Amino acid sequence: MARTPDGMSAITSALRHLEDAMRALVNENAQLKRQMQGIVDHRQLLGGQRGPGRSARARDGAPRKRGRAFKFTDVQAAELRRQVEGGKSAVSLANELKVSLPTMYNTLKRAGWEGRGQRGRGRPPRAARPRDGAPRKRGRAFKFTLDQAGEFRKQVEGGKSAASLAKDLKVSLPTMYNTLKRAGWKGRGQRGRGRPPRAARPRDGAPRKRGRAFKFTVDQAGEFRKQVEGGKSAPSLAKELKVSLPTMYSTLKRAGWKGRT
C-alpha cells in the first residue's frame, strides 16, 4: 500500500518531536546530577572545616553529654546542691527554676548529692524522725503514740469494745486493732466487755462448741432422748419445738442417743 506525501511528513514530524523530548530529558537528568554532586561536595567541604565533634562542644561552660545537653552547668549544680543541703527542698527549687523534679534530682546528683534522703529542710531520714514521741515505722506514720495506745488498751481490757473505741476516735477498726497490739494487747480474744474467749462461754448452761451455739442444753437433750426412747418420734418432737429434723437428731445424739433404729 503506497503512502501519500502527507502521511510521510506526519510520521517524520512525530519522530522529530519524540527525539526532542528525549534529548530534553537527558539534559534535565544531567543537570539534576550536577546539582546533587554539588550538594555532596559542599557538605564534605563543611565537614572538613568544622571544629571538634559535637561531644567536645561546650554549652554555657558545661561539658556536652550524649543526647540532650545538661540543663545547668557544673557550677550551677554545685550551687543548687548547697541550697538543698542547707535546708531548701528540691521540690521548691525545681518549682522556682521551672524544671521537672527528675531534672533537679539528676542535677543535684551530678554535683555529688547523695540522694533523696537528704532533701527537705535538713531533717534526718524518715525512719529516725519522731512523731509525737512515737518511733517512725516504714510506710505511713502511726496514728497514735505509744502512750495513747496504752491508754486505749486499758480501756479495752477494762470492758470497752474496740469497735466502739474506734467509732469514738473516728478511725477504722483495723487501725484500732493495730494500735492496741502495738501496746501489747494480745489479740481480738480480749476485746469487748472483758468476756472470756468464745469457746469457754456458756450459753444456757451448755458448753460452747465451734461454730454456731447448741440449740438446747445438755439437760434438755437428755429429756428429749427419754421421750424418743419412750416411743415419741423425733419428727413430731422437732415439729413441736419448731426446729429442723437434723437439729433434733444432733441434739439427741449429743445426749447419747444411738440412732434411728
One digit per residue, pLDDT tens: the chain, 261 residues?
Answer: 445 566 678 888 888 888 888 999 999 898 888 888 888 887 777 655 444 445 445 555 555 556 678 888 889 999 999 999 888 888 988 999 989 999 989 999 989 988 765 444 444 455 555 555 555 556 677 888 889 999 999 999 888 889 999 999 989 999 999 999 989 998 765 444 445 455 555 555 555 556 677 888 889 999 999 998 888 888 998 999 989 989 989 899 989 988 765
CA gyration radius, the chain: 47
pLDDT value of position 204: 56
Taking the domains of the chain in order of start, what are their residue ranges? 71-118, 146-190, 199-254
pLDDT value of position 135: 54
Q: Which residues contact 141 (CB under 8 A, 6 or more apart)?
A: 131, 134
Q: Which residues contact 220 (CB under 8 A, 6 or more apart)?
A: 251
pLDDT value of position 78: 92
**Helix (H, G, I), strand (E, B), or coil: what is residue 36?**
helix
Q: In which residue are the cell numbers 465451734 written?
A: 210
H-state helical runs in 141-260: 146-157, 162-169, 173-182, 218-229, 234-241, 245-254
User: What grid cell was written down for 34?
Assistant: 550536577
pLDDT value of position 14: 86
In a 13 Å sphere around the CA of 122, the CA atoms on its Cβ side amount to 5
pLDDT value of position 121: 46
pTM as predicted: 0.26
C-alpha to C-alpha distance for 73 and 62, rounded to whole angstroms = 5
- Of the chain, the end-to-end C-alpha distance in Å amounts to 129
Sign of the CA dihedral with 25 first, then 26, 30, and 36 last: positive
pLDDT value of position 142: 81
